[in-house]
Structure 1
Amino acid sequence: MIEKSDLPEVFPEGEETAVRTVVVVNQLGLHARPAARLAQEAQGFEAEITVICEEQEVDAKSILDLLTLAAAQGSKLELRANGCDAAAALDCLEELFKTRFGEEK
């Protein structure tokens, strides 16, 4: 039996798609400062970028959307990007999570 996740997604020619899983390591979770930084960085890319937490999917370029996730420390998020710079966008955003958005804790 083929599951939906096993089927390739079809996008217009010249566009790429990328998917990454990240973990919120900040002690206070994805609060206002890291959400703002994430949205600001995402806005620098042409790709459509979404963040998925459990069943909720939001626009990574919107700080308000990101805050609605209420992603606590330890939350696993899926980052999805579709567009000509999708891989570069997710490389950048993944690095923010790895470096705790510049926060010490």
Structure 2
Amino acid sequence: MKETVMYSKVTTITNPSGLHARPAAVFVKAASDFASKVTLRKNEDGAPERDAKSILMVMGMGLGVGSEVEISAEGTDEQEAVDALVALIESGCGE
């Protein structure tokens, strides 16, 4: 069995209103399309990782425009998941 190593990238929230309900829902749906475990963490000391497939967890993070976040994934499609989610954040989540 192949051992997986977590893959992650840091990006910045670009939506003028942050990751509020609609873009958070788009992000969570996209994260849920991947088999890997996906987490989201505000890129600051002591910030906990949150389940990126949970709308309540993502919205509870209070991510505003300019917030730097780390997206991590662990599993069979981890690199694809992280790269796609970073691209989604950087595109403004469709807004």
| TM-score normalised by structure 2 residue count | 0.90
Do 1:21 and 1:76's aligned partners in 2 also have CA atoms closer than 8 Å? yes
Task: Provide the C-alpha distance between the structure 2 equivalents of 1:31 and 1:90, rounded to a whole number of angstroms.
Answer: 20
- Structure 2 unmatched ranges of 5 or more: none
Residue 77 of structure 1 aligns to a residue in which SS? strand
Aligned to 1:48: 37
Instruction: State the shift of 1:102 in Å.
Output: 1.5
Instruction: State the shift of 1:48 in Å.
Output: 0.4
Q: CA RMSD in A?
A: 1.3
Find out whether 1:102 has 2:94 as its counterpart.
Answer: yes
Counterpart among 76, 79, 83 of residue 75 in structure 2: 83
Determine which structure has more spread, i.e. the larger CA radius of gyration. 1
Task: Provide the C-alpha distance between the structure 2 equivalents of 1:85 and 1:14, rounded to a whole number of angstroms.
Answer: 13
Figure out how many residues of one structure are paired with residues of the other and give that number. 92
Higher RCO by CA contacts (8 Å cutoff, separation 6 or greater): 2
Task: Provide the C-alpha distance between the structure 2 equivalents of 1:56 and 1:15, rounded to a whole number of angstroms.
Answer: 21
Find out whether 1:59 has 2:63 as its counterpart.
Answer: no
Task: Provide the C-alpha distance between the structure 1 equivalents of 2:11 and 2:22, rounded to a whole number of angstroms.
Answer: 18
CA offset digits 1:58-95 (Å, max 9, x no partner)? 10000110001001110000001000100000111011
- Structure 1 unmatched ranges of 5 or more: 1-11
CA offset digits 1:24-75 (Å, max 9, x no partner)? 0101001001110111011111100100013132100001100010011100
Residue 88 of structure 1 aligns to a residue in which SS? helix
| Sequence identity percentage | 35
Runs of 4+ in 1 over 3 A off after TM superposition: none
Q: What code does the residue aligned with 1:67 have? A: M
